[in-house]
Amino acid sequence: MIKVGIVGGTGYTGVELLRLLAQHPHAEVAVITSRSEAGVRVADLYPNLRGHYDGLAFSVPDSATLGACDVVFFATPHGVAHALAGELLETGTRLIDLSADFRLQDAEEWARWYGQPHGAPALLPEAVYGLPEVNREAIRQARLIAVPGCYPTATQLGFLPLLEAGLADPSRLIADCKSGVSGAGRGAKVGSLLCETSESLMAYAVKGHRHLPEIAQGLRRAAGGPVGLTFVPHLTPMIRGIHATLYATVADTAVDLQALYEKRYADEPFVDVMPAGSHPETRSVRGGNVCRIAVHRPQGGDLVVVLSVIDNLVKGASGQAIQNMNILFGFDERDGLSHAALMP
């Protein structure tokens, strides 16, 4: 059993870490911190956890306690991991950061999109982008892992086979993405109220969303060069789920895209290439760590449409974080993540 610490456990990615780790055969949560809820038992804040963590209460963050853990997850707003990572790494613990703090390799780009200076640029060179389908080997050796964002996970997994194979025109990529409201977090915002979001649908941040540079960075790696990406996120009236609808133009329409995708992900435990003609539903991954993908070429044209769905809180956050932990500690990559999605 490894000892796990969680910094900032009161949000949705925090409770999701707790839910998933409750079933993990080789990890147990030893510490969970929250300044605002210090002293409160986690099962009092999240009654779904009653019977699972009855002795565990939120505590004030403290380097000594966290440093005694084998691994520490950051489930915090951006900026917090910047402030604490350096000190914690010195204790020898491994860090898995669910926030955006170490996702962009370029500190200046980070500063532009997040409106504040990067707080730990010296750590960037060793930060590993925790997308196992791309970086599994690097993850095994990492001390500091940046878990990809939700939109970036669904979008990259959908585009990767096309770009790695050099099939798609990298200058004209479109990601039309639809997210459930939990992607906006547990903050008390008018815009996340049921009465503001239910029975409605809207695009947002068309001008530029913080996940845009992260996605572009990943697609550049896959394409081996610059990419042109238009990313339009939408807020949709459901709790969980991301549906990425991806558009790319291919020069060669003779390629068997279905075979390409199946081959690319043949050994991936958490990417499911669905049969040709499928339309994956977000509910088919609700609560599960899977990304389901279908690839289409409508009317036999040169425009490829890729459908990619994940649960934003699982494969798009906490589940992927645990998948990284499993790789890092040499566990079976499926440990704690093998349950079926909840449907209906």
- Binders of a copy of itself among residues 225 to 284 (CB under 8 A) are 228, 230-232, 234, 236-241, 243, 245, 247, 249, 272, 274, 277, 279-284
Give catalytic status of residue 150 as yes or no: yes
Q: In the window 144-203, what residues touch a copy of itself (CB under 8 A)?
A: 172, 174, 176, 178, 181-182, 186-190, 192-203
Does residue 102 contact residue 76 with C-beta atoms inside 8 Å?
no
Q: How far is the CB of 274 from a copy of itself (least distance, A)?
A: 7
Q: Which of 119, 288, 316, 319 binds a copy of itself (CB under 8 A)?
A: 288
Q: Which of 102, 20, 34 is nearest to 325 (CA)?
A: 20
Q: Which is nearer to a copy of itself, 94 or 209 (CB)?
A: 209
Q: Which of 56, 75, 285, 325 binds a copy of itself (CB under 8 A)?
A: 285
CA 33 from chain centre, in angstroms, equals 21
CA distance to 213, 216, 285, per residue, from 109 (Å): 8, 12, 33
Cis preceding-peptide flag for 344 (omega within 30 of 0): yes
Q: Which is nearer to a copy of itself, 284 or 324 (CB)?
A: 284
Q: x/- string (CB under 8 A) for a copy of itself, residues 76-115?
A: ----------------------------------------
Q: Determine which one of 69, 150, 177, 291 is catalytic.
A: 150
Sorted by sequence, the CB contacts under 8 Å of residue 64 that are 6+ apart come out as: none
* Gap between the Cα atoms of 33 and 10, Å rounded: 8
Q: Which of 12, 151, 261, 331 binds a copy of itself (CB under 8 A)?
A: 12
> Does 39 engage in binding with a copy of itself (CB under 8 A)?
no
Q: Which is nearer to a copy of itself, 119 or 316 (CB)?
A: 316
Q: In the window 322-341, what residues touch a copy of itself (CB under 8 A)?
A: 338-341
* Gap between the Cα atoms of 237 and 176, Å rounded: 16
Residue type (1 letter), 320: Q
Q: Which is nearer to a copy of itself, 255 or 305 (CB)?
A: 305
* Gap between the Cα atoms of 197 and 240, Å rounded: 13
Site for a copy of itself (CB under 8 A): how many residues?
A: 86
Does residue 63 contact residue 83 with C-beta atoms inside 8 Å?
no
Q: Which is nearer to a copy of itself, 85 or 314 (CB)?
A: 314
Residue 286 buriedness (CB in 10 A; 0-12 / 13-18 / 19+) = buried
* Gap between the Cα atoms of 155 and 176, Å rounded: 9
Q: x/- string (CB under 8 A) for a copy of itself, residues 44-73?
A: --xxxxxxx---------------------
Q: Which is nearer to a copy of itself, 62 or 332 (CB)?
A: 332
Q: Which of 163, 263, 265 is nearest to 215 (CA)?
A: 163
Does residue 158 contact residue 176 with C-beta atoms inside 8 Å?
no
Q: Which of 38, 206, 251, 259 binds a copy of itself (CB under 8 A)?
A: 206
Q: In the window 293-322, what residues touch a copy of itself (CB under 8 A)?
A: 296, 298-299, 301, 303, 305, 307, 309, 313
Pairing between β-strand 202-203 and β-strand 2-7 as defined by DSSP bridges: unpaired
Residue matched to tokens 């009654």:
47
| Catalytic positions, written as ranges | 150
